[in-house]
Amino acid sequence: MAKVKTHYEDCDVLVVGGGMAGTGATFEARHWGRDLKIICVEKANIDRSGAVAQGLYAINCYMGMQWDENQPEDHVRYARNDLMGLVREDLGYDMARHVDSTVHMFDEWGLPMMKNEKTGRYLREGKWQIMIHGESFKPIVAEAAKKSADKIYNRIMITHLLMDESKENRVGGAVGFNMRTGDYHVFRAKAVIVAAGGASHIFKPRAVGEGMGRTWYAPWSNGSAYALPIAVGAKMTQMENRIVLTRFKDGYGPVGAYFLHLKTYTQNANGENYEKKWYNQTKEIVGEYIDHHPVPTCLRNHAFIQEVAAGGGPIQMVTTEAFQDPHLETVGWENFLGMTVGQAVVWASQNIDPKYTNPELTTSEPYVMGSHATCSGAWVSGPEDLSPPEYFWGYNRMLTVDGLFGAGDTVGGSAHKFSSGSFTEGRLAAKAAVKYIEDQKAENIKVTDKQCEDFKETIYKPLENYTVGRNEITGGTVSPSYILPIQGLQRLQKIMDEYVGGVGVNYMTNENLLKRGLDLLNILQEDLEHIGAEDYHQLMRAWELKHRALTSQCVTEHTMFREETRWPGYYYRGDHMKLDDENWHCLTLSRRDPKTGKFTMEKVPVYHIVDDEKKKKAS
Ligand SMILES: Cc1cc2nc3c(=O)[nH]c(=O)nc-3n(C[C@H](O)[C@H](O)[C@H](O)COP(=O)(O)OP(=O)(O)OC[C@H]3O[C@@H](n4cnc5c(N)ncnc54)[C@H](O)[C@@H]3O)c2cc1C
């Protein structure tokens, strides 16, 4: 270990992850903290990192308050409906009331926005979405962060949070390593904002073999946003609420612009509208939720999954009508070029021209995230003026660990933030983090050299395991002493798939399966102590896997705790096949004890602040 060089950096605000939320946090921290030292640490390169790396074709969250197109209350109602009643309305409202100002900044910074020629307003793709030429989206927000930070560190993966040794439950910074140089980096900080994206590749993907690595959510999103806080005992919420996406088959190409702008629609193999067929059956499970408008995303998935299971596949998107219009044909292709070019390549390789052939759709493997049509993540304090006492403990977006903040996919309970809402939430978290520091809440933090040295030993152990264990074999990859990251990853994905409701079992699970899944995940954790890494890149893979495995344990515990099927189409509890509002119209919380590794679960009330509560207060 003596060979590894250590770098120390002391700062005020440390932002972990330079994606949409991280760039927003870095930018806003400078606005409020003129004299503070602000550092952002990114695993890849901030110019092209995170889920928006390749670009986007639409900003999916814009109210348009200046034209009275939507108000924050409308967005809360929308997200609440889509998540079958269960969201943190204080967080959603807070994001929504600020998101337009974020989008206006993107416009000022040079993001090419499409305009409606007749009205001069941003061109709407749907009620919430506005269309952009978004290939340059990520470099533009990265520039704002680069100009705001004292320093951006690229190619450093944060593996652990540092904790204050003088006051319990207070953060003291973070540590990680540079994947190119191998150097060890210690960041001692007064406040830490975790903005490290969601989790893909914890469930076995549909794309295996030559397609391995192809996923809908970014393959490099490895759950650090969850594992870092879980490891230090922060409370998590709604981790059972994984998301399944209906997307174009094999390339995971987006369907939003197709449905909303091109007005394409889906049909089964016989050309029928299959969704209607499953109305009564879905009503049996979820009651009146099936009559809501728009139909919640999970319920549309449900009809798809049932139809395929009943032999009605393949399900197709009817593109052959819309693509006769040359303008819509162009939009259809450009939609991929700005965001998922791989889908166009897949179609080319499979002789699919959507003008003449209706392409197939499929449902994806599940992902864990907090910013899309799903709301897994950390349990955070809401804003002072909106949140009921149970949702408020001093600083907006602060986790249940003092000085530790979150934004974007990290934060649970607040769905439908997307790119603009995640950036906005980063801004909100940073403003609160600066206030936390100014209020002197981060005084006298003690992080000893011993804590840093202990982490150093832990982080580089996989290299040691490999170097020693490799001597026991003369060829091949199977060793009696270590497992490789790819072997561990495939084991994790198989466990999650078969026991926790992945594609292999048509998203079905139950208590017995989940218990067995937890046993197997515990055995995997034991074996991960013996993971081997042959170089720094594999060391990153090893730590990505460890973060994925911890996230998976949390997902499994939550899935076992919620004894109902709240989101059919995302997953099914075969032993509790109905939505149960009487017992489960609540949010779930978990906490993992950092000393014992044991999870405890609890229910917390879901407060309907928009409509119900406001009316009550007024009367
Ligand atoms: C395929 C796809 C399509 C989408 N389409 C749209 C759309 O059309 N419109 C829209 O508005 N939104 C869209 N979104 C959603 C949007 O991209 C996300 O909501 C947003 O990027 C979430 O922001 P975030 O900062 O939480 O995560 P990210 O933007 O993913 O950023 C996370 C960052 O953390 C870094 N990181 C991860 N782990 C570590 C670690 N351990 N140490 C250091 N750094 C780390 C990552 O490299 C990354 O840069 C889409 C997302 C996907 C995947």
- 543-556 pLDDT, tens per residue? 999 999 999 999 99
Instruction: Write out the DSSP string of 150-175.
Output: SEEE-SEEEEEEEE-SSSTTBEEEEE
Of ligand 1's listed atoms, the one at least distance from the Cα of 410 is 26
Tell me, in angstroms, the distance from the centre of ligand 1 to residue 20's CA: 6
Q: How confident is the model at residue 446 (pLDDT cuts 50, 70, 90)?
A: very high
Tell me, in angstroms, the distance from the centre of ligand 1 to residue 174's CA: 21
What is the pLDDT of the chain when averaged over all its residues?
A: 95
Of ligand 1's listed atoms, the one at least distance from the Cα of 24 is 25
What pLDDT, on a 0 to 100 scale, did the predictor assign at position 286?
98
Of ligand 1's listed atoms, the one at least distance from the Cα of 256 is 8
Tell me, in angstroms, the distance from the centre of ligand 1 to residue 312's CA: 34
What pLDDT, on a 0 to 100 scale, did the predictor assign at position 124?
94
Q: Ligand 1, from 14, 15, 16, 20: best to mutate by most atoms within 8 Å of Cβ?
A: 20
Of ligand 1's listed atoms, the one at least distance from the Cα of 370 is 26
Q: Ligand 1, from 125, 175, 372, 405: best to mutate by most atoms within 8 Å of Cβ?
A: 372
What is the Cα–Cα distance from 399 to 396, expressed in whole angstroms? 9
What pLDDT, on a 0 to 100 scale, did the predictor assign at position 212?
84
**Torsions phi, psi for 573 (to 5 deg):** -95, 100
| CB-CB contact of 378 with 236 (8 Å) | yes
Residue 117: pLDDT above 90? yes
Q: How many CB atoms lie within 10 A of CB 4?
A: 15
Q: Average pLDDT for residues 523-529, to the nearest whole number? A: 97
DSSP 123: P
What 3-state DSSP class applies to 562? coil
Of ligand 1's listed atoms, the one at least distance from the Cα of 22 is 25
Reported as type and span, the H/E element at residue 602 is strand 599-605
Closest residue (by CA) to atom 38 of ligand 1? 196
Using one digit for the tens of pLDDT, what is the confidence trace for 33-54? 999 999 999 999 999 999 999 8
Tell me, in angstroms, the distance from the centre of ligand 1 to residue 422's CA: 8
Residue holding tokens 């409509």? 611
Ligand 1-lining residues (CB < 6 angstroms): 16-22, 41-44, 49-52, 56-60, 157-158, 195-197, 216-218, 220-221, 224, 254, 371-372, 408-409, 418-420, 422
Q: Who contacts 581 (Cβ-Cβ below 8 Å, separation ≥6)?
A: 85, 287
Pairing mode, strands 184-194 and 171-178: antiparallel
What is the Cα–Cα distance from 109 to 212, expressed in whole angstroms? 37
| CB-CB contact of 493 with 201 (8 Å) | yes
Using alpha carbons only, how large is the chain's radius of gyration in Å? Answer: 23
pTM of the model: 0.97
What is the Cα–Cα distance from 429 to 441, expressed in whole angstroms? 15
Angle at 166 between CA 163 and CA 171, to 5 degrees: 25
Residue 428: pLDDT above 60? yes
Q: Average pLDDT for residues 106-111, to the nearest whole number? A: 98
Q: Who contacts 507 (Cβ-Cβ below 8 Å, separation ≥6)?
A: 244, 305, 366, 501, 569, 570, 571, 572
Tell me, in angstroms, the distance from the centre of ligand 1 to residue 14's CA: 18
Using one digit for the tens of pLDDT, what is the confidence trace for 51-92? 999 889 899 999 999 999 999 999 999 999 999 999 999 999
Nearest CA among 231, 227, 221, 230 for reference residue 198? 221
Bridge partners (DSSP) of residue 599 are 592
Residue holding tokens 């969250």? 61
Max Cα separation, the chain?
78
Residue 616: pLDDT above 60? no
Bridge partners (DSSP) of residue 462 are none
Q: Average pLDDT for residues 346-373, to the nearest whole number? A: 96
Integer angstrom CA distances of residue 25 from 35, 111, 164, 408, 525: 16, 19, 23, 10, 33
Residue 613: pLDDT above 60? no
Q: How confident is the model at residue 340 (pLDDT cuts 50, 70, 90)?
A: confident
| CB-CB contact of 162 with 447 (8 Å) | yes
Tell me, in angstroms, the distance from the centre of ligand 1 to residue 611's CA: 31
Using one digit for the tens of pLDDT, what is the confidence trace for 551-608? 999 999 999 999 999 999 999 999 999 999 999 999 999 999 999 999 999 999 999 9
Q: Who contacts 403 (Cβ-Cβ below 8 Å, separation ≥6)?
A: 164, 170, 171, 172, 190, 191, 192, 433, 436, 441, 442
Whether omega before 294 lies within 30 degrees of 0, making that bond cis, reads yes
Of ligand 1's listed atoms, the one at least distance from the Cα of 422 is 23
Residue 614: pLDDT above 80? no
Tokens of 367: 């992902």
Q: Average pLDDT for residues 477-503, to the nearest whole number? A: 96
Residue 618: pLDDT above 70? no
Q: Average pLDDT for residues 311-334, to the nearest whole number? A: 94
What pLDDT, on a 0 to 100 scale, did the predictor assign at position 475?
87
What pLDDT, on a 0 to 100 scale, did the predictor assign at position 240?
98
Q: Average pLDDT for residues 306-319, to the nearest whole number? A: 96
Of ligand 1's listed atoms, the one at least distance from the Cα of 221 is 37
